[in-house]
A and B are shown apart, each in its own frame.
Chain A
Amino acid sequence: RKEVEQDPGPFNVPEGATVAFNCTYSNSASQSFFWYRQDCRKEPKLLMSVYSSGNEDGRFTAQLNRASQYISLLIRDSKLSDSATYLCVVSIDRGSTLGRLYFGRGTQLTVWP
């Protein structure tokens, strides 16, 4: 069983739509959670960390459900520039000794005009 499972999509949505991605993780000892974004044939870049209480960054909202071992990302008012692959990332480490990160396979999003 993979450490992080994601629906690969693709998700195809019009500009202005709201879209949600989910992922699940298998290790209940996981402590740190992130969403990374990867544009086509580019390197992954951190989009946002995910905190236990949920957190928002502009049009992006991340939620964590530790009991269900489930992480979500909500994008409101989608822009063409949001088209990318969104990677769910988990680590059993926390704080100053963040080591190995486990990446999901990514969910592909295409926003059309």
Chain B
Amino acid sequence: GAGVSQTPSNKVTEKGKYVELRCDPISGHTALYWYRQSLGQGPEFLIYFQGTGAADDSGLPNDRFFAVRPEGSVSTLKIQRTERGDSAVYLCASSLFSGSANTGELFFGEGSRLTVL
């Protein structure tokens, strides 16, 4: 389909390991967002890209978290030295900015479920 694609859908890792999560947004969407969601909570903002640059990375919890979007399309969220508290569903979303016609709709992927043992 033409929706937001995230891989892997599930990732189980051990404490201290490095993890990469990939997001392929809807073609032509210039804005890309990373959120994470814990059980029983709403999505928590991590970072937002407009094109290749991070327009707002204030939600990244600490310097173990880093995200890139080198060509303005696919993005990778990188987590170093994973901790058990990093376990969550990591959601990627994209949005089409079209001047004043932005509806504010974010199109989410199905998420990557990360479990840190």
Contact = CB atoms under 8 A, between A and B. Distances in A.
Interface stretch (B15-23, B69-77, B80-88, B102-110): B102-110
Interface string A97-110: 11111111110000
Interface residues of B, number: 31
Contacts of A97: 97, 102
A42 B104 contact: no
A98 B104 contact: yes
Interface string A40-71: 00111110010000000000000000000000
Given A42-B110, A44-B108, A46-B106, A98 B43 contact: no
Interface in A8-33: 8, 32
Contact of A46 (B31, B105, B111): B105
B40 interface: yes
A4 interface: yes
Given A43-B108, A45-B108, A101-B106, A96 B97 contact: yes
21 contacts: A34-B104, A42-B110, A43-B109, A43-B110, A43-B111, A45-B108, A46-B103, A49-B103, A95-B100, A96-B99, A98-B95, A99-B50, A99-B56, A100-B59, A101-B45, A102-B45, A103-B44, A103-B45, A104-B42, A105-B41, A106-B41
Interface of B: 31, 33, 35, 40-45, 48, 50, 55-56, 58-59, 91, 95, 97-106, 108-111
Given A46-B103, A98-B95, 4 more contacts: A49-B103, A96-B99, A98-B31, A106-B42
